[in-house]
């Protein structure tokens, strides 16, 4: 479980990559459609055409996998990377979280070495890395656990001006807990806690059942991704309190 990201609601408005998208969003004549416990912001056809023109063809493409801990996202990213006809970087937050030597081993309950202080900056930096890599033309495979509406909004503001394809990776609790126990590098209960919320914040461009083989799911995702048309979910989602 990654934990919630704390940041100002408008933290990315100063980001030159997305300030135009945010301003455009605020200036459009939008229609808010309720969708369960989330809302989709739907603009006019002209708005959508403008968004399609706004996405720079020189930017990298992004495929984001969202699912609970132990749902098989990392394995699926590896399968996607092997199958895709374009080069994609596999750039997961796990690279920072679980690679030995990236994070300081020193931990204190308070101050700069406390996890809450380091974690907030790490997450913020990770999102900036995603937009920076994509703006430089790198295609990205991202596995992530969306844990709150604020995280979703932050992800949207950072990546809303990119060709981003959001995939829900589903797995039943019994299988999640079996995998969590087998891998041995996650805290017991993380997967169950994630599953209770991870799919409640947004709909998806595509969804898969991770009880299927990674190879089969990768093929299905690539087929759906190749048929995508803007705007994608990440381009349309807007935090609405």
For 179-227, how does the pLDDT look when each residue is reduced to its tens digit (9 = 90+)? 988 887 677 888 899 999 999 999 999 999 999 999 999 999 999 999 9
**Would residue 43 count as lying in a domain?**
yes
Q: Is residue 6, in this structure, part of any structural domain at all? A: no
Which comes out higher in pLDDT, residue 191 or 237?
A: 191
Q: pLDDT digit string (tens) for 126-137?
A: 999 999 999 999
Residue 1 lies in a domain: no
User: In which band, very low, low, confident or very high, does the pLDDT at 75 lie, cut at 50, 70 and 90?
Assistant: very high
DSSP notation for 72-111: SHHHHHHHHHHH-SS--EE--THHHHHSTTTS-S---SSS
CATH of the domain at 171: 3.40.50.300
Domain that holds residue 25: 11-236
Three-class SS of residue 6?
coil
Q: Cα–Cα distance between 97 and 115 in angstroms, integer?
A: 11
Q: Do the Cβ atoms of 230 and 51 come closer than 8 Å? A: yes
126 within some domain: yes
Number of domains comprising the chain? 1
pLDDT band at 145 (very low <50, low <70, confident <90, very high): very high
Is the entire prediction scored with pTM above 0.85? no
Q: How many helices, marked H, and strands, marked E, lie in the chain?
A: 10, 7
Q: Is residue 241 part of a domain?
A: no
In a domain, 155, yes or no: yes
Q: Is residue 5 part of a domain?
A: no
Does residue 55 form part of some domain?
yes
The torsion defined by the Cα of 12, 16, 22 and 24, in degrees rounded to 10, comes to 170
Q: What is the pLDDT of residues 17-30, one digit of tens each?
A: 443 343 333 333 33
Tell me how far apart the alpha carbons of residues 8 and 194 are, in angstroms, rounded to a whole number: 23
């Amino acid at each position: 479980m990654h934990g919630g990201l704390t940041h100002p609601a408008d933290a990315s408005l100063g980001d030159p990559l997305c300030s135009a998208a945010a301003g455009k969003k605020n200036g459009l004549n939008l229609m808010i459609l309720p969708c369960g416990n989330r809302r989709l912001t739907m603009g006019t056809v002209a708005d959508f055409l403008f968004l399609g023109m706004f996405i720079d063809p020189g930017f990298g493409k992004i495929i984001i996998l969202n699912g609970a801990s132990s749902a098989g996202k990392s394995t699926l990213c590896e399968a996607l990377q092997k199958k895709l006809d374009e080069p994609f970087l596999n750039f997961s937050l796990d690279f920072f979280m679980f690679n030995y030597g990236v994070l300081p081993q020193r931990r204190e309950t308070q101050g700069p070495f406390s996890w809450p202080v380091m974690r907030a900056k790490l997450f913020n930096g990770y999102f900036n890395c995603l937009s920076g890599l994509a703006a430089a033309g790198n295609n990205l495979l991202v596995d992530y656990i969306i844990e709150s509406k604020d995280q979703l909004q932050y992800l949207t503001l950072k990546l809303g001006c990119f060709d981003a394809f959001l995939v829900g990776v589903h797995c039943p609790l019994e299988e999640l807990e079996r995998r969590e126990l087998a891998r041995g590098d996650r805290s017991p209960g993380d997967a169950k806690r994630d599953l209770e919320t991870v799919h409640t914040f947004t709909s998806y461009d595509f969804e898969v059942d991770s009880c299927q083989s990674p190879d089969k799911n990768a093929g299905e995702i690539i087929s759906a991704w190749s048929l995508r048309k803007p705007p994608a979910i990440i381009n349309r989602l807007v935090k609405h309190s």
